[in-house]
A and B are shown apart, each in its own frame.
Chain A
Amino acid sequence: MQEAHQENAVQLVRVPQPRTSELKKRLWKNKWLYVMLLPGVLFFIIFKYIPMFGLAIAFQDYKPFKGIGGSEWVGFKHFERLFTEPDFLNILTNTLLLFGMNLLFYFPIPILLALMLNEVRFSFFKRTFQTLVYLPHFMSWVIIVSISFVMLTSDGGIVNELLEYFGFEKVNFLLSPEWFRPTYIIQVIWREAGWGTIIYLAAIASVDPGLYEAARMDGAGRLRQVWHITLPAIRSVIIILLILKIGDVLELGFEHVYLLLNSMNREVAEIIDTYVYTAGLRQGKFSYSTAIGFFKSFIGLVLVITANRLAKKMGEEGIY
């Protein structure tokens, strides 16, 4: 009945508004597709977009009982506090330092590994190697950190036993501030370096073998081939991944740092994420810690956009 009525309406208005009616028809034809999208769209709205609007509490003195509607608006008070609080400058420095180390020490390693692996001719060795180095990626940070704790403890851990055996002092890796950053970055490399090669290997696999042939004719050795053919071939992939990495600037992994954090290394180990967790959820400073989280997300977004623009200026595709 409803449908028949609509059909009639379509007939009547066809001449003045053909596009709208066609759209209606298409929407109705695809109704089941929209039904399918519904759970997913609801998920993104509720758990991704409502929290974005929830960032409003960074501009309030949020009281859990009053909710967003009832809490008092205080403008940029919490953001102003950020920049005067010595604590904040410290966690920002810590965060940026870990990020810098990630970029400097972790980022190039998968590229290097992929280049090396590509030079291996035995596919059995290659496959075995990949199987082994991909494995840690699937272990949680709790597992990775636990394994290294068992190895690094000064109470019978293998690393300290070796140090002692070779005549060095034992080191309390887990409690010394100066060992926090090296431990952190080694764990990152250990867990992710192998997995990170996948995308570079795929990019390398699409290089035209004829190019290598030609280079050999010209007398290029193995290293020269890597430098002049393989590396330029994966340039755009490297740039894309670099943009993504920069976008994750302050995304150092809450879990990982939180697991390594203790009262002895807090001075160097506290980062934005762990601070938001402790100050926000443990101490109930909802608005202040949301302001910090907002600051972080915003900087991340700005950096992705900037990095993407730069990549495009350099003649690369970018991520969008």
Chain B
Amino acid sequence: MVEDKTFSGRLFSIVNFTLLAIIALVTVLPFLHVVAGSFTTSAEMAMKKFILVPTIWSFDAYKFIFSTNTIFRAMTVSTGVTIVGTLFSMFTTALMAYGLSRRDLDGRKGIMFLVVFTMLFSGGLIPTFLVVREMGLIDSYAALIIPSAISAFNLIILKNFFQNIPEGLEESAKIDGCNDFGILFRIVLPLSMPAIATISLFYAVTYWNTYLSAILYLDDSAKWPIQVLLRQIVVLASGLDYSSDLDAAVPPPDQTVKMAVIVVATLPILIVYPFLQKHFAKGAMLGSIKG
């Protein structure tokens, strides 16, 4: 576009620019505050209140949270659930998406309708809970994965992506004697890496952030993922009264300790985010409007 050189045009740009810059800052400052706070002493935190760069660096908060194995165990659970869950979800989603992407498949429209309908109406919490319990998944890590294995939204994104692959490629593979599994794994998947990467990351983030399934299906606190533990440490210890879950004899943790737990629970996302960010806008677009 041509640069607008009039006075009102420039004023518009400056105001617009400033507002956006403020919005970006407001979004990010809390994170920076928490990260910086986790790396300083509780004394400096208590004195300065708001920190973007610590003057006194300290790893005490991290030493403290890793001095017991609770956090470490929760991180292991979350990591395991994220890896296994993402692989499982990708596998089932890709298989189903490929089947549904083939226009010559009878019944495909009916199945698509059933999938989309689940986005509009659901049995809700209690009936779903009863099914999960009936299947004997309570208190197993599988309960965090299997009941949420396929996201209808991700399925539709992937199906649309597969549909855009030229049919000629698939046909020529068939002539060369490939069956449908061969076509999916040798032709379609390698051509769909951007979509696969996006959706894997969507799934991975969801599994890392698992909270609801954990409080619904896990009674055993030794199996808690990091998000549930984070709630125990920060939300419940903030002078609120859900204390029945929490040992009343333990004093509420320092601000710095809370911040360190937040950072630890967020870290994996901050690590994958740069990779994620490259792809997702496109991926989110693909599925969002066309059914």
Using a CB–CB cutoff of 8 Å, the interface residues on chain A facing chain B are 23, 26-27, 30, 32-34, 36-37, 39-41, 43-44, 46-55, 57, 113, 116-117, 119-121, 125, 128-136, 138-143, 145-151, 153, 155-156, 158, 161, 174-175, 190, 194, 198-199, 201-202, 209, 212, 216, 221-223, 237, 240, 247, 254-255, 259, 262-264, 273, 276-277, 280-281, 286, 289-290, 293-294, 296-298, 300-301, 304, 319-320
Task: Name the contact of B262 in the complex, choosing from A50, A130, A143 (C-beta under 8 A).
Answer: A143
| Contact assessment for A293 and B241 in the assembled complex, using a CB-CB cutoff below 8 Å | no
Which applies to chain A's interface (DSSP): helix, strand, loop or mixed?
A: helix
| Contact assessment for A199 and B231 in the assembled complex, using a CB-CB cutoff below 8 Å | no
**Bound-complex Cα distance A281 to B56 (A):** 47
| Contact assessment for B231 and A142 in the assembled complex, using a CB-CB cutoff below 8 Å | yes
**Bound-complex Cα distance A276 to B273 (A):** 34
| Contact assessment for A55 and B124 in the assembled complex, using a CB-CB cutoff below 8 Å | yes
| Contact assessment for B27 and A116 in the assembled complex, using a CB-CB cutoff below 8 Å | no
Q: Which 5 A-B pairs have the closest CB atoms?
A: A51-B123, A40-B96, A54-B127, A293-B124, A140-B209
| Chain B interface category by residue count | 35 or more
| Contact assessment for B122 and A52 in the assembled complex, using a CB-CB cutoff below 8 Å | yes
Q: CB-defined interface of B1-21 with A at 8 Å, one 1/0 digit per residue? A: 111101011001100110111
| Contact assessment for A300 and B49 in the assembled complex, using a CB-CB cutoff below 8 Å | no
Does B140 reach chain A (CB closer than 8 Å)?
A: no
| Contact assessment for B124 and A297 in the assembled complex, using a CB-CB cutoff below 8 Å | yes
- Chain A residue with Cβ nearest B119: A247
**Bound-complex Cα distance A52 to B99 (A):** 25
Residues of B near A37 (CB, < 8 A) are: 95-96, 99-100, 111
CB within 8 Å for A194 and B27 given contacts A51-B127, A121-B1, A304-B120: yes
| Contact assessment for A142 and B241 in the assembled complex, using a CB-CB cutoff below 8 Å | no
- Chain B residue with Cβ nearest A113: B23
| Contact assessment for A174 and B240 in the assembled complex, using a CB-CB cutoff below 8 Å | yes
A-B contact pairs, 8 of them (CB 8 A): A26-B106, A36-B95, A40-B92, A175-B240, A202-B281, A222-B8, A222-B12, A276-B125
Does B150 reach chain A (CB closer than 8 Å)?
A: yes
Does B175 reach chain A (CB closer than 8 Å)?
A: no
CB within 8 Å for A48 and B234 given contacts A40-B93, A116-B20, A120-B17: no
Task: Name the contact of B126 in the complex, choosing from A41, A198, A290 (C-beta under 8 A).
Answer: A290
**Bound-complex Cα distance A143 to B258 (A):** 11
**Bound-complex Cα distance A280 to B212 (A):** 15
Does B193 reach chain A (CB closer than 8 Å)?
A: no
**Bound-complex Cα distance A309 to B116 (A):** 18
**Bound-complex Cα distance A319 to B19 (A):** 34
CB distance from B235 to the nearest CB of A (A): 6
Residues of A near B147 (CB, < 8 A) are: 47
Most chain B beta carbons < 10 A, residue from A39, A57, A150, A264: A150
**Bound-complex Cα distance A23 to B107 (A):** 11
Does B63 reach chain A (CB closer than 8 Å)?
A: no
